[in-house]
Amino acid sequence: MKLPNKIISFLKIVFPSTKIEAFVFLFFIIVYGANAGFIAEHFRIIYDNRIPWDAYFSFDNRAIIQTGGGFERHPLSNYFFDQIRTFALWISGNRYDSVFRLVLALLSTLVISLANVQIFKYLNNIIRLPLKISLLILFFYGLFVTNILLSFTPETYTYTLFFLSIFNYYAAKKISEEKTMSFGAAIIGSVFIGGLTITNIVKVYIPFLFEKNIFWNWRKIGRAVSKIAASIAVFVFLFLLRLDLNFQNFLNKTEEQYKKFSTPKVTPLWDMIASWFLGGPVLFPGFVIRDYHSRDKSFYYKALFMDVYSSVVSYIFVGIILLMIIWSIFKNFRNRLVWILVISFSADILIHCVLKFGLHTSYIYGGHFVFVYPLLLGWLFFSFKEKTLPLTFLYGTLLILTVYLGFNNLYRLTEFYQFLETYYQ
């Protein structure tokens, strides 16, 4: 395939290519954009030079925008966010004002809206669900906490969700067509996905395990290994440039960060998993306000965090979603595309639930895995495509969950606005 054709093919994957995809994109741009614009224009929480971290739900906006975040977790993000910051400053006339915040917020809106388009493409083109089911799943997904928050938050998670959504659709498309991933895709995936969060790089290589007859053909194995090796080589080269070749500093910092973010908390383990890891990226719980200050204590500010669920209905909601996901895996046990999603999700379960890294704020990591929820729900619907009664039951259940999710998250969003009006005008 010639280069121009490859570019056109890539653009068709990333951007809307049909009328219904364009409608989906514009819908989310308008809804998310109205919220992002309002927050950026009236409140300083998206970017305040005095607030280093954790102003809301443990996001590190200022640190990410200025430096790309810590190199031990975000090895190449500084290259990425240097460009975003430069662009926002160019639009704002080199001022960190409301225009600067607006540019950052609207870029996040654009990215999350495009990520939602990827989910719709997967449901519509890969799973091939009826349009009304695809739109219901997408609308349900669009109301998730992660999507709402990241649609105005300039963070690594925002762009990670975007790149992972694109990559999973691309990988599913290749495997469905019995084709292999290209060298370029492996390299770009490792640099952009692993570069924003190092642990996600493994997700770039999972689809290689499910290429047709990969384990029965030495030539295919050799090609796959060479693609992985080339992508890792490029990634390591860029990473070492950022470290000035001081790899030992990375090892020391990684150990320090693990000890800091895996310290046991008072909250029971099962509740942290239910309320923050499984449910936090989907359904807003109540909020807790805490007093914070800058490192030199020159500026004191209020920070907002998620509490565990206080209502049994919330736990039931999360339990139903979990049961539907498990049901989907059981019904599609022999489906290669489902296992790509499951293994990808398992990597996050291992990191946060088993190793307990960042489990007490695991709701912020939703950008790494929350796209799996709607896709597995889509596969569940697919498994009953010729059975009217189960399909109707699933559709009705998801419709009820969507209504509850919408009321809960919009109500909690008004509480978030009250927090902003009180402390961040």
Is pLDDT of 398 > 90? yes
Burial of residue 48 (number of CB atoms within 10 Å: 0-12, 13-18, 19+): middle
Between these two residues, 142 and 12, which has the higher pLDDT value? 142
Closest listed residue to residue 105, CA positions, set 53, 172, 152: 152
**Exposure pattern of 313-331 as b/e (b: 16+ CB <10 Å)?**
ebbebbeebeebbebbbeb
Are 13 and 173 in contact, with CB atoms under 8 Å apart? yes
Confidence of residue 385 (pLDDT cuts 50, 70, 90): confident
Closest listed residue to residue 168, CA positions, set 158, 178, 181: 181
Per-residue pLDDT, averaged over 289-317, amounts to: 92
Is pLDDT of 1 > 80? no
- The predicted structure's pLDDT at residue 196: 93
Distance CA 35, CA 32 (A): 5
Neighbouring C-beta atoms of residue 385, cutoff 10 Å = 14
- The predicted structure's pLDDT at residue 200: 95
- The predicted structure's pLDDT at residue 295: 82
Are 57 and 363 in contact, with CB atoms under 8 Å apart? yes
User: Which residue reads 């915040």 in tokens?
Assistant: 101
Is pLDDT of 261 > 60? no
Confidence of residue 70 (pLDDT cuts 50, 70, 90): confident
Helix (H, G, I), strand (E, B) or coil at 301: strand
Confidence of residue 260 (pLDDT cuts 50, 70, 90): low
56 has which bridge partners? 304
Mean pLDDT of the chain: 91
- The predicted structure's pLDDT at residue 126: 97
Closest listed residue to residue 265, CA positions, set 204, 335, 352: 352
Confidence of residue 91 (pLDDT cuts 50, 70, 90): very high
The amino acid present at 151, given as its one-letter code, is S
- The predicted structure's pLDDT at residue 240: 85
> What 8-state DSSP symbol labels residue 359?
G
Is pLDDT of 222 > 60? yes
Are 282 and 144 in contact, with CB atoms under 8 Å apart? yes
Are 76 and 61 in contact, with CB atoms under 8 Å apart? no
Closest listed residue to residue 16, CA positions, set 162, 118, 125: 118
User: Which residue reads 């509740």 in tokens?
Assistant: 271
Per-residue pLDDT, averaged over 292-303, amounts to: 88
The amino acid present at 344, given as its one-letter code, is S
Closest listed residue to residue 209, CA positions, set 232, 233, 228, 189: 228
pTM above 0.75, yes or no: yes
Distance CA 108, CA 417 (A): 19
Per-residue pLDDT, averaged over 162-169, amounts to: 97
Q: What percent of the chain has pLDDT over 70?
A: 94
Locate the DSSP E strands across 225-359. 287-293, 300-306
Distance CA 420, CA 425 (A): 7
Is pLDDT of 51 > 80? yes
Per-residue pLDDT, averaged over 196-205, amounts to: 94
Q: What percent of the chain has pLDDT over 90?
A: 75
Helix (H, G, I), strand (E, B) or coil at 400: helix
Is pLDDT of 257 > 60? no
- Of 220-229, 237-246, 355-364, 394-403, least confident by mean pLDDT is 237-246
Confidence of residue 69 (pLDDT cuts 50, 70, 90): confident
Distance CA 181, CA 162 (A): 19
Q: How many distinct helices (H) and strands (E) make up the chain? A: 18, 2
